[in-house]
Structure 1
Amino acid sequence: MQQKKLNQTDRPAPPSAADVLSACQGLRLTRVRRMVLEFLLGAQMPVKAYDILDALRHGAPKALTPASIYRALDYLLQEGLVHKVGTLNAYVACAEACPETCADTNAACTESCAENCTCSRAGSHRVRHAPVFMLVCPGCRKSKEICDPALYQTIFSAMQRQGFQLQGDTVELTGICPGCAQQQDQSCTI
């Protein structure tokens, strides 16, 4: 019996980063949600919704609308896969810099949930991140997600003492990144 040679199109495509991320959290992404998440994962910096729309419009088999992009972003925000950088009015994929905790047991998941989680719904549960700080550079529009639960608790407690309620789980701090600071220093010495 003659075996059929496999060519590149016969092999299943390897799972994308968005597929792996959504599978770990037990999510099923629509085509548009997957496209938006993949784009943000590749961008590695905050991107405005209309820029996402413009970038995805060309490769989409079906016409995309601003509403479909915003719906996808809202869903991805709700599921903790992206963050909104309000100071830039842009979105960035979650960097997964923070330790993840199982939504069932609140225990740290240090590896892939699907392989190592021991809770009752191992491999099919939602994972939530600890609160994060988003460092934002207005010069180059880069952002960096960091996690410091102790500092976050200090800020949260101070707000509560003043009668304020923190909205969301991301605190944005605006500052000049090392690259922009270096450019500023070089322009001052010339």
Structure 2
Amino acid sequence: MSNKEIAKQQMPGQPVTDGLRKTRGRRLTPLRRQVLDILLEAAEPVKAYAIMDILRKKTAKSVTPASVYRTLDFLLRHALVHRVGTLNAFVACTDSCEHEHQPVFMLVCAGCHQSREISDPPLYNTICAAMREKEFTIQGGTIELTGICPQCAAAGSE
């Protein structure tokens, strides 16, 4: 079950991360839960400072950039979010598996900035092997591909 599907099953007013805590078994502090909720509810990748602005509107507590980045680092380490480097933003992981994450491809639309996560370990291994032949190494576990999503492609053809 994907994170988005888990989020849809939550009761109104219940944080969407409640189902994820049961699925992933991670201990989420209130700030971690709020940040993950923001990313799960977002229609596109969200920048760290935008997360901070949303948090400041939702809570009376002071939220610093350092606390948001520490929270994002935790969520990254525990495979709950991905960093979309081309946008310098973050997106909730769509895979709610309990095991170690497989490397993923992040498809990023150049038009609307929506992103889609796909996992294809054989393709990933082929790309990494080709990179090793050229004495390159991948940094991180995500390969980002920029293109145009079906909605933007259809809008552009009208």
Listed as ranges, the gaps of 5+ residues in structure 1 are 1-12, 101-125
Q: Secondary structure at the match of 1:129?
A: coil
Listed as ranges, the gaps of 5+ residues in structure 2 are 1-11
Q: Secondary structure at the match of 2:100?
A: strand
1:89 partnered with 2:88 = yes
Q: Secondary structure at the match of 2:41?
A: helix
Q: Distance in 2 between matches of 1:31 and 1:14?
A: 15
State the Cα deviation string for residues 28-82 of structure 1 (Å, max 9, x = none). 1111111000110111420111111111111113111111111111110111100
1:157 partnered with 2:129 = yes
Q: Distance in 1 between matches of 2:19 and 2:99?
A: 13
Question: Which moves more between the two structures, 30-39 or 59-68?
Answer: 59-68
Q: State the match for 1:17 in structure 2.
A: 16
1:142 partnered with 2:108 = no
Which of the residues 89, 105, 111 maps onto 1:133?
105
Give the C-alpha shift of residue 14 in structure 1.
8.2
Q: Distance in 1 between matches of 2:13 and 2:58?
A: 19
Q: TM-score, normalization: structure 1?
A: 0.72
State the Cα deviation string for residues 117-151 of structure 1 (Å, max 9, x = none). xxxxxxxxx52221110000121010011111111
Q: Distance in 1 between matches of 2:25 and 2:95?
A: 16
After TM superposition, list the pairs within 5 Å mapping 1:23-102 onto structure 2.
Answer: 23-96=22-95, 100=97
State the Cα deviation string for residues 75-100 of structure 1 (Å, max 9, x = none). 10111100000101110000118xx4
Larger radius of gyration: 1
Higher percent of residues as helix: 2
The residue identity in structure 1 corresponding to 2:21 is S
Q: State the match for 1:169 in structure 2.
A: 141
Give the C-alpha shift of residue 15 in structure 1.
6.0
> How many residue pairs are counted as aligned between the two chains?
147
The residue identity in structure 2 corresponding to 1:169 is G
Q: TM-score, normalization: structure 2?
A: 0.85
Q: Secondary structure at the match of 1:136?
A: strand
Q: Distance in 2 between matches of 1:152 and 1:177?
A: 21
Q: Secondary structure at the match of 1:45?
A: coil
Higher relative contact order (CA 8 A, sep 6+): 2
The residue identity in structure 2 corresponding to 1:90 is A
